[in-house]
Homo-oligomer: A and B are copies of this chain.
Amino acid sequence: MKVSKLCFLIAIPAEAKPLIEHFGLIHHPNLFGALPPIAYKGVYKNIELMVVVNGKDQQLGVDLVGTQPATLAAHLAIEHFNPDLIINAGTAGAFARNGSQIGNVYLSHKYIVFHDRRIPIPGWDAYGVGRYPTFNTSVLAARLGFKQGVVTSGNSLDMPEVDERTINEIGGEIKDMEAAAMAWVASLYEKPFFCIKSITDLMDSEKTTQEEFLENLHMASISLKDACFKVVEHLSNSDI
């Protein structure tokens, strides 16, 4: 597949800014009316690029993290831009016990799951986990030197025992707060989708996730930008 329209879904501006600046993307205000998602557009070589960020909470002024804003942003981005490929780029947690280190970059692998939708009724239990498709990133990961992992999403930054149990059961390796919702929306539109995740925190370290997240967000966002650039450069030269 030759990609000529590529959409990046990125939850928060701190993660998106280095990428937006690197590609010189232009802010398009009011593309989605009064709704919060924010769009940036531009061109790199033969590829039209769009970055959509979830936007801000109008009352509290904080970035709209989590799966509900991710659902809305993904829907609006796809409806407006009709991309050939969607990439959710962002920061995430991982596990030292799997060999992950802060700053590592992962591509999504196998499927993308939820770890906080427990619905113990037959059929609904599988739906709760989701197992939404990811584009097969094996060639890309090998060629560009990225790791691969099962991305698992939930609406909380922490990992209480009940979530950890689910993450272990479903083989989650990369923990974020948006990917599964975006993957679900992409699957509704039958659009190829994968994640590029830069690790800010190790869930099994002694520090809390919020400490590590805030400490490493800037560094991880730069490493995310470098990874996204490598992928776009690759897509501009090769089929995927």
A155 in contact with B117 (CB, 8 Å): yes
In the assembled complex, which residues on chain B have CB atoms less than 8 Å from the CB atom of A189? 34
Chain-B contact segment, one of A58-66, A89-97, A227-235: A58-66
Any B CB within 8 A of the CB of A193:
no
Binding site for B on A (CB under 8 A): 34-36, 57, 60-68, 71-72, 75, 114, 116-121, 123-124, 126-128, 154-158, 160-162, 181, 184-185, 188-189, 208, 210, 213-214
Measured between alpha carbons, how far is A124 from B210 in the docked complex, in Å?
11
A68 in contact with B214 (CB, 8 Å): no
A36 to chain B: closest residue by CB = B188
Measured between alpha carbons, how far is A60 from B122 in the docked complex, in Å?
10
CB < 8 Å neighbour of A116 from B120, B124, B155, B208: B155
Pairs across A and B, CB under 8 Å, 24 listed: A34-B189, A60-B123, A62-B123, A62-B127, A63-B124, A67-B67, A67-B68, A68-B68, A68-B71, A68-B181, A71-B72, A72-B75, A116-B116, A116-B154, A118-B157, A119-B156, A120-B158, A120-B208, A121-B157, A124-B157, A128-B156, A155-B155, A160-B162, A162-B162
